[in-house]
């Protein structure tokens, strides 16, 4: 039985504005898009993004009390990412969540383009 793909929705403009206002004021934080959704990166590592009406932050194994793991679709979670609760989707609370994601991203090694090429090469080899 083929798996039904979820319907992806755009992030509401007010949520994008809240996300933008929570961006850390550092020149090394990059704003990019992932699958047409706004996202923040540090050293090539994504640490926060919007996804439809949600915001997710990468926190590693250390999640705040009551935090729900982020799932793209039911049963398809993203390791280390947690959904920001509705009560923290703006202002100082959202800045804290994004700041915690940035702090975690600072502990990760920088991604390099060479590493990405190796991963792609491994996948191509496995398919043969």
Measured in whole angstroms, how far is the alpha carbon of residue 13 from the centre of its chain? 18
Q: Convert the pLDDT of each residue in 17-50 to its tens digit.
A: 999 999 999 999 999 998 889 999 999 999 999 9
The span from the first CA to the last CA of the chain, in angstroms, equals 25
Q: What average pLDDT score do residues 71-93 get?
A: 89
Is residue 121 in some structural domain? Answer: yes
- What pLDDT was estimated at residue 5? 58
CA distance 81 to 48: 8
Q: What average pLDDT score do residues 42-67 get?
A: 90
The count of structural domains within the chain is 1
Is residue 8 in some structural domain? Answer: no
Residue in the structure block whose two tokens are 């989707």: 89
Residue in the structure block whose two tokens are 């090539």: 44
Is residue 73 in some structural domain? Answer: yes
Structure tokens at 56: 């997710």
Q: Is the model's pTM score more than 0.85?
A: no
The DSSP letter of residue 9 is -
Identify whether the C-beta of residue 83 lies closer than 8 Å to the C-beta of residue 67: yes
| Residue 66 structural domain | 13-127
Is residue 47 in some structural domain? Answer: yes
- What pLDDT was estimated at residue 2? 62
């Amino acid at each position: 039985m083929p798996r039904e793909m979820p319907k992806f929705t755009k992030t509401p403009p007010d949520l994008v504005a809240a996300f933008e206002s929570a961006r850390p004021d550092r020149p090394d934080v990059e704003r990019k898009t992932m699958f047409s959704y706004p996202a923040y990166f540090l050293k090539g590592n994504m640490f926060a993004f919007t996804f439809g009406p949600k915001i997710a932050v990468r926190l590693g194994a250390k999640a705040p009390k009551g935090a729900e793991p982020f799932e793209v679709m039911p049963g398809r979670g993203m390791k280390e990412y947690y959904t920001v609760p509705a009560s923290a989707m703006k202002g100082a609370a959202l800045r804290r969540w994004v700041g915690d994601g940035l702090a975690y991203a600072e502990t990760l090694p920088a991604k390099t383009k060479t590493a990405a090429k190796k991963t792609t090469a491994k996948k191509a080899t496995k398919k043969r």
